[in-house]
Amino acid sequence: MIELKNYYPVIKRNTLFRDSDINDLEPLLSNLDHYVNSYEKGESVISVGSEITSLAILLEGEVIITQIDFWGNQNIISKITEGQMFGEAVACLKDNISDVEVVVSKDAIVLFIAIENIINLKNDRPKHLALQRNLLQALAMKNVLLKSKIDYLSKRSIRGKVLAFLSHESHRLKSADFKIAYNRQELADYLSVDRSALSKELMRLKKDGYLDYNRNHFVLHQI
């Protein structure tokens, strides 16, 4: 049996509960319809076409959100790590049918919270109002991230996509020396490019002095 209290520090890191103290989590969660599931690598947490009524917080492990076209080509939307949330945008929609697949890349434990419970909390209580405000901010942040991805994909060349992505990561992490969440194949799927072409472009960028890298560790240089 999964003891949820063991994961309170992880839950506290999530945007939804960032204004709550550890001691507030038990009474808050008691007012919310929630459950916890565990998954093994390769399992689907959310499948295309499934109805989504709960947001999910990853307590342990790692999952990847993907879209797969008719011919089996995979496009990675994002990678979710411990403490991060997913499914909240679709759960808020009236037609809350998933068009993405959420697949476990490392054995995972996931907390699900019914979105209606959060929306219908009495907002005359400060802690309830904070949950609703934080949910709204999480949705806004998701829109910003999706806009960034559109910016990457709008670049016509692989070089343009790579430089736009790495520049954004550098700004987001406030450093020219950083690690990205994706391995080489995942980055290729995220940027919708061929893996070998991506590797060749990274080597050219290194030769041209734009960057140095080792696996998922990058250091950007001014040109």
Q: What is the pLDDT of residues 27-76, one digit of tens each?
A: 999 989 999 999 999 999 999 999 999 999 999 999 999 998 777 788 89
Q: What distance in Å separates the CA atoms of residue 122 and residue 117, rounded to the nearest whole number?
A: 10
CA 27 → CA 3, 5, 23, distances in Å? 16, 12, 8
Q: What does the pLDDT read at residue 108? A: 98
Q: What is the pLDDT of residues 149-193, one digit of tens each?
A: 899 989 999 999 999 999 999 999 999 999 999 999 999 999 999
148 and 161, same domain (yes or no)? no
Domain endpoint, select from 114, 131, 152: 152
C-alpha closest to that of 205 among 167, 168, 171 = 167
107 and 35, same domain (yes or no)? yes
Q: What is the pLDDT of residues 201-217, one digit of tens each?
A: 999 999 999 999 999 99
Domain endpoint, select from 117, 152, 187: 152
121 and 163, same domain (yes or no)? no
**What is the overall mean pLDDT for the chain?**
93
Q: What distance in Å separates the CA atoms of residue 146 and residue 153, rounded to the nearest whole number?
A: 11
Note the pTM of the prediction, 2 decimals. 0.85
Number of compact structural domains in the chain: 2
Q: Say if residue 195's pLDDT is above 80.
A: yes
Which range of residues forms the domain containing residue 202?
A: 155-220
Domain endpoint, select from 107, 131, 152: 152
128 and 204, same domain (yes or no)? no
Residue 178's CATH number: 1.10.10.10
